[in-house]
Amino acid sequence: MDEKLEKELCKNMTKMGCEAIEGKYADDVCIGKEGSYYFDSIMGINFKPHPFMIGPKHVAHASDHFMGMLGDAAIEDLERKGPSCAWHDKNGKCQVPYVEHTHEKGAFLKIKTDKTLTENKELPKFLFAVKPTMLKEKIDGVGLVKWK
């Protein structure tokens, strides 16, 4: 592949990858010479201790004090009265503060190619091209899924 065509391909792949990460074109396929790539999903993974659960009192508090905007500020304000996670298990109600409910963010990339991942020369370029956006979006890792 000549250098001009390769630069144009990387530019297009970068644009497509960044827009997919931002959720604008999540189902669009990025087609390169060695295969097709697209971001299948971006989701929270490895929740510790579990996903924070919103309950009716969060909705009521946001409605009464935050013009209906249920965000970090509303949850943190409610937490000043005590832990507010609505999660219940066999041990009772969750007592972990909102800020201690953590998770990582993973992006899952589907690849359609006849080549193995180690043979595919475009994939590293694509991943490197979208790295700044992945850092900005605080994506902690990428899962690669080969599809046919």
Q: From 65, 80, 100, give the residue that closes a domain.
A: 100
**Stretch among 46-50, 76-80, 130-134 having the lowest mean pLDDT:** 130-134
Same domain, 28 and 95: no
Phi/psi at 146 (nearest 5 deg)? -90, 130
95 lies in the same domain as 111: no
In whole numbers, what is the pLDDT of the chain averaged over residues?
78
Residues 14 and 87 in one domain: no
Q: Are residues 84 and 123 in the same domain?
A: no
**Could you tell me the residue range of the domain that residue 26 belongs to?**
3-46+103-146
Contact 123/117 with Cβ under 8 angstroms? yes
Lowest mean pLDDT segment, chosen from 39-48, 97-106, 128-137: 128-137
- CA dihedral for 97, 100, 104, 105, sign (positive or negative): positive
Tell whether 107 and 132 lie within a shared domain: yes
SS3 content of the chain, % helix, strand, coil (to 5): 35, 25, 35
Total-model pTM: 0.58
CB 72 within 8 A of CB 58: no
**pLDDT score, position 72:** 93
Q: How many domains does the chain have?
A: 2
- Taking the CA atoms of the chain, what radius of gyration do you get in angstroms? 21
Choose among 98, 108, 92: nearest CA to 72: 98
CATH number, domain at 139?
A: 3.30.300
Q: Are residues 71 and 88 in the same domain?
A: yes
* 8 Å CB contact between 103 and 47: yes
Q: Do residues 84 and 108 share a domain?
A: no
Considering the domain architecture, whether residues 37 and 58 belong to the same structural domain is answered as no
| Domain co-membership, 58 together with 96 | yes
More confident site: 143 or 116: 143
